[in-house]
Amino acid sequence: MLVKQPKIVFLFLTAISVLFTQSTFAQAKTKKQARTDYTKYVDPIIGSAKHGHVFVGANVPFGAVQLGPVNVFEGWDWCSGYNYASNTILGFTHTHLSGTGIGDLSDILILPISGKVNLTKGTKTDMENGYGSYFSHANEVSKAGYYSVLLDKYKIKAELTASERVGFHKYSFESATDSHILLDLADGVGWDKPVKTFIKKTGKNSLVGYRLSKGWADDQRVFFAIEFSEPITNMALYDSISSIKGNEGEAVRMKAVLDFNLKKGKTVLIKVGISPVSYENALANIKAEIPHWDFSKTVQEAKAKWNAELNKIKIQADEDTKTIFYTALYHTMFAPSIFNDANGDYRGTDKKVYRNAGFTNYTTFSLWDTYRALHPLYTIIQPDKISDIVKSFLAIYQQQGRLPVWHLMGNETNTMNGNHSIAVIVDAYFKGFRDYDVELAYEAIKKTSMQTRAGMNYVQKLEYIPADVEIESVGNALEYAIDDWCVAQMAKALNKQEDYEYFSKRAKLYSLYFDTKTEFMRGKLKNGQWREPFNPLSSSHREDDYVEGNAWQYTWLVPQDPYGLITLFGSEEKFINKLDTLFTLEEGVVGDNASPDISGFIGQYAQGNEPNHHIPYLYAYVGQPWKTAKLVHEIAEKFYTSEPDGLCGNEDLGQMSAWYILSSMGFYSVNPANGIYVLGSPLVESATITHKNRLSFKMTANGLSKDNIYIQKAEYDGKPYTKSYITHEMIVKGGELKLYMGNKPSATFGVKKEDRPM
C-alpha cells in the first residue's frame, strides 16, 4: 500500500489541478460573459417623442412595476405619461403603458418636495403654484433598469430602479429643511379616474393602501405597501385638498404629505411593492424581492436581468444600428406584464382571488398588434414564457367565458378587432409548446370563435358582415378570417374533421369583400351592393368599414392565404401592379376624422400601423423578393432611428419593435401561426440567436453594405438553400444560414414557384 500511495496522491493532485483549471476557466468565461454589456446600446428615450408613446423609466423584463416620470398631460401623445417634448414632471408613478393609443394606469404617484407643499398639480405654464417641477433633459439619465433626473424647482436628484413587483426610489435632498414626500392616489393618465383610494400608516417607516380606479380597464385594483429608510416625523392626510384626521383615510382622491427630519445632503430611500390582491401581499413582495436597502445592488440586478435577455441575440453591425436594435429588443419586453404576486396569488377577470397559481399569470395583451410578430418572436427568444402566456389566456377564458381581446389589469377592454389570442395559441401549439391543457385550449378557441359580437353572428352563418349594420365590417371580417384559419389548422391536427371543414370555409370569407372591378376590399351593404360613394383613400377613425386604415392598406390583410388573394386579382401581374402602386401612390389619406395611428408612409403603405407590417413581404409570394429587400431597407432607414422620435407610430407594446428585430435578421412572420418566416433583406451583418438548450441559430449576411441589399444565393449548414423562406424548426434546432448579398436583384433566388413561401 505504501508503494502505491504516491501514485494515488499524484492522481488526486492531478484531479484537483484539472478541476481547479476548469473552475478557473469557467469563472473567467463567466466574467467575460458578464462583461458583455448589451444595455449600453439601450436608449429608452428612443420612441418617447411624437407618436411613439413608449414608457420611460425603470423596470425589469416583463415586470409588473414600471416606475417612471409623468409629465403634465397634454393629449394623445402623452398616453404613456411621458413625452420627450415636455419639460415638466409631476411625480413618479408605478404603472404605465408603453406605446398604446389609449392612456391609462399611472398608479401611486410619489414626489419628493423641498419647501412648501402644494396639493394641486402644477401646469405646463405654472409650476410655482402647484406641485411638480420643471426639468432639463441635460440632467436626465435613462438606462435599462435605471432612471434619474434633477427636479429644478426642489433641487432634488431623483433616482429610480425596480424589481418585478417593487419600485425602488432614491431622493437626494440639497436642503436640510422642509423635506417632504407627497403620495397622491388621485390621478392617473388619460382615461384613468379613481373610484376609491385608501392610505394607512402602519409604522414609523411604513404605509399601506390601495387605489381602485376606472378607465380603459373598467375595474382596476392596485394594492401597495411602502417602506421608507427614514422615520416619518409627521403625516397629513387629505381627500383631494380636504384634511382628514388620523393615521388612515379612505376617500376618492386620497393624498398624504409625509415630513422627514433630514441632515443636509441626506437621502430618502423608498420601496413600493404592488399587488393585484392585497397590501399584505404587496409587503410580502418587498420582502421577497428587495429585502435590503442597497439601491446600487438593485440597479445592478435590474441591469443583469436586462443583459440576460439582450444576450439572447448577438448581432454584428455599426454602433448606431446596435443602438436601434437593442433598444427595440428592450422594448419587446415591457408586456405582457406579470400579474401575480411572488407567492403566486392573482386576481382574475372575475375579480376572485386565485391562490398560489402554478404558472406566471400575465396581463397587458395588445393582441391586435402583437400577434403579428411579437408573439412569433417570443417563440424564438422567450420559449420559457409561451406556455404560461397560454395558461394566462385559458384562465381568462374560464373566468370570462372567452379568450382575451385586449386584456389589461384583469379587465377585458374589448379594444380593437379579431380574436387574436387564437393565433397565439395555435402558433404555440404547432411549434411544440404543449405544457397546458390542449383540449381546453381547443375548446377555448372554438367557443371564442362562436361569439356573436361585432358581426360574428354573420360569420357563423358563412355570410358577409353588412356594412350598413356593423361598423368596421371589412376590418373585422378580415381579422376574423385569419383567426378562423388558425382554428381550422388546430382542428385538423386534433382530428376534428367537421370543425376543420367549417372553419376552413370561414377562413375564405375574406373573398366576399373583394371587388374585382376596383381591386379593393370593400364594404358591402345588406342588399348585396357595394357601399357608395367609395374612396380607397378615405379613413375615418372608427366610423367606417376599416380600422385605422383605408382600402389601400386593408386589401392586403390576408396573411393566412396570400395565394388565395393573388387568385382574386386574376393573375400575378395584376397583383404585382396593384402592390407596386400601394408603395408609390403619394396622395394623402383623407377623412373628417382620420386616425393619427396611420403614419410612417411610403406611398399608401403605413409602417406606423400594424395591419401593414406584413405587406412588404408579399412580393416573395409572386417571385419578386428583391422588392421586399428594397422596402425593408427603406422602411428601416426612414422610420427606425436612434433619435427620440425614432419610431414613426405607436410602439404598441412591442409590435413595432418586433417588426424591426425580425426584419433586421432577414426574415418576418407573414402568417403569424404557420412557423414560416419569409426572407427579406438583413439589416445587420450577422445575428446569432441563442434558443433553449444553448442551441444557436446564426444568420450571416456576406457582403452586406448600403448598396448590397439583395440576396443572391443562400446556404444552410453549408448546403445550397434556394427557398425564399425559413422555418421555425430550422431556427430552434440551430445551424447557420448564410446569405450572399449583392447590389442588384438576383434573377434566380426565390423566383421559382417551388422556392416561394408555403
pLDDT at 3 over 70: no
Distances (CA, A) of 481 to 220, 459, 475, 477, 654: 32, 9, 10, 6, 24
Q: pLDDT at position 35, please?
A: 54
For the chain, what percent of residues have pLDDT higher than 90? 89
* Domain endpoint, select from 309, 335, 360: 309
Dig out the grid coordinates for 608 from the structure: 406606423
CATH number at residue 649: 3.30.2080.10
How many residues make up the chain in this entry?
Answer: 758
CATH number at residue 266: 2.70.98.10
Report the C-alpha dihedral over residues 85, 90, 96, 102, rounded to 10 degrees: -60
Q: pLDDT at position 495, please?
A: 98
Transcribe 377-441 into DSSP letters.
Answer: HHHHH-HHHHHHHHHHHHHHHHHHSS--SEEETTEE---SSS-THHHHHHHHHHTT---S-HHHH
In a domain, 128, yes or no: yes
Residue tagged 407627497 (cell numbers) = 182
Q: pLDDT at position 27, please?
A: 41
* Domain endpoint, select from 286, 309, 332: 309
In a domain, 376, yes or no: no
Contact 668, 373 (CB under 8 A): yes
In a domain, 392, yes or no: no
In a domain, 721, yes or no: yes
Dig out the grid coordinates for 497 from the structure: 374533421
Question: How many C-alpha atoms does 244 have within 13 Å on its Cβ side?
Answer: 20
Question: Residue 314 class from Cβ within 10 Å (0-12 exposed, 13-18 middle, 19+ buried)?
Answer: middle
In a domain, 712, yes or no: yes
pLDDT digits (tens, 9 = 90+) for 177-219: 789 999 999 988 988 999 999 999 999 999 999 999 999 999 9
Predicted TM-score (pTM) of the model is 0.94
Residue 668's domain comprises 570-758
228 CB-near residues (< 8 Å, 6+ apart): 181, 205, 206, 258, 260, 268, 269, 270
Q: pLDDT at position 484, please?
A: 98
pLDDT digits (tens, 9 = 90+) for 322-371: 999 999 999 999 999 999 999 999 999 999 999 999 999 999 999 999 99
- Closest by CA position to 204, among listed 235, 158, 181, 183: 235
Q: pLDDT at position 174, please?
A: 87
Number of domains in the chain: 2
Q: What is the mean pLDDT of residues 554-560?
A: 98
pLDDT at 476 over 60: yes
Distances (CA, A) of 517 to 67, 197, 475, 522, 570: 54, 59, 20, 11, 11
pLDDT digits (tens, 9 = 90+) for 104-134: 999 999 999 999 999 999 999 999 999 999 9
Cα distance between residue 489 and residue 422, in whole Å:
11
> What strand order describes the sheet that includes 68-70?
68-70, 91-93, 109-114, 179-184, 254-260, 234-239, 242-244
Q: Average pLDDT, whole number, for the chain?
A: 93
In a domain, 549, yes or no: no
Contact 739, 666 (CB under 8 A): yes
* Domain endpoint, select from 309, 328, 361: 309
Contact 348, 392 (CB under 8 A): no
239 CB-near residues (< 8 Å, 6+ apart): 249, 251, 252, 253, 254, 255
In a domain, 507, yes or no: no
In a domain, 743, yes or no: yes
Q: What is the mean pLDDT of residues 91-109?
A: 96
Amino acid at 278: S
